[in-house]
Amino acid sequence: MLRRPYPPFEYYDEDGAVVGFDIDIAEVIAGALDAELEVVQTGFEGIQSGVALDAGTCDLAISGMSITEARAGNMLFSEPYLDDNLGLLAVTEADVSSLDDLEGLTVGVQTETTGSDFAEEQGYEVREYSDSGLLIQGLESGQVEAAIGNISILGYQAGESDTAEFIEEIDTGEQLGIAVATGNDQLIDAVNQVLAELDASGGMEELEDRWFREGDTPEEGEGAEDEASDEASEEEPAEDAATEDEGDE
């Protein structure tokens, strides 16, 4: 599943193709399972709640999704494939140097994410956005002075912004996982085997370097949301991968 663009995990490039860190991993899994990858678009709520998996909308949910106890009650998670703490991003002129400086400021978060949960637990004045792209737009337009979300997303966005800067990492111990429907033990075992082989071969580190450290990634385009399914192969898909837009989530 492809939610709205969520770089660098999944987004449309200038040619309208779906690309990203999660997409590369999904392609490796599909190849190892001799399956044709089809990317299906859906909202993150349907992904993180397990509804999309239970409804058969997809076979795999890979969407920068943090493993939480609540989510694990609704789906089966793979072994973690990425460590991903939260981070704080702030407008350069906001004079924010740490979380301690957020009192009296409006903090942007993406709804239904661990960043949103954290901000609310801390008692910050929160403004919610439906996806990370809108969150960053809110920060750059002055709707909010700071944003809290997964470091993989906010760190990436900070490197693309001239008006905001990455302030600090928030050590929450979050890890991202791939999910399948409850009861599909055979598929999750196969996914775990592929992830283990990808890690052992150095392939996972290469993907992390490409998408999070080297910065040599495809430019973003303006692919329409309803084109996500069109990116799939015309062959019968054996595994559908669901992704959405969030920095954790």
DSSP letter string, 12-57: EBTTS-EESHHHHHHHHHHHHTT--EEEEE--HHHHHTSHHHHTTS
Q: Label residue 152 by pLDDT band (50, 70, 90).
A: confident
pLDDT of res. 212: 87
Q: Looking at residues 51-62, what average pLDDT do you find?
A: 93
165 pLDDT above the threshold of 70: yes
Bridge partners, residue 154, by sequence: none
Nearest to 24 by CA among 210, 219, 225: 210
Question: Chain-centre distance of CA 34, in angstroms?
Answer: 25
Which whole-number Å values give the CA distances from 231 to 40, 171, 224, in the listed order?
Answer: 9, 36, 11
Residue 209 has pLDDT above 80, yes or no: yes
The band of 227, judged by pLDDT with boundaries at 50, 70 and 90, is very low
Q: What is the average pLDDT across 92-109? A: 95
- Which of 149, 105, 129, 102 shows the shortest CA–CA distance to 248? 149
Q: What percent of the chain has pLDDT over 90?
A: 63
Which range, 48-52, 97-101, 150-154, has the best average confidence (pLDDT)? 97-101
Tokens in use for 154? 């906010």
Q: What's the whole-number mean pLDDT along residues 53-60?
A: 94
The mean pLDDT of the chain is 86
Q: How far apart are CA 244 and CA 249, in angstroms?
A: 9
Residue 232 has pLDDT above 80, yes or no: no
Backbone torsion region of residue 64, taken as left when φ is above 0, otherwise alpha when ψ lies between -120 and 50, otherwise beta: left
What integer is the mean pLDDT of 155-182?
A: 89
User: According to the model, what pLDDT value does residue 224 have?
Assistant: 45
Is residue 231 predicted with pLDDT exceeding 90? no
Q: Say which amino acid occupies 209.
A: D
Q: What is the pLDDT of residue 5?
A: 64
Higher-scoring residue by pLDDT: 61, 240: 61
Question: Degrees (nearest 5) of the Cα angle 200, 206, 212?
Answer: 125
Residue 27 CB partners (closer than 8 Å, separation 6+): 37
pLDDT higher than 90, residue 192: yes
- At 226 the pLDDT is 41
Q: Is the pLDDT of residue 100 over 60?
A: yes
pLDDT in tens, 20-42: 999 999 999 999 999 999 998 78
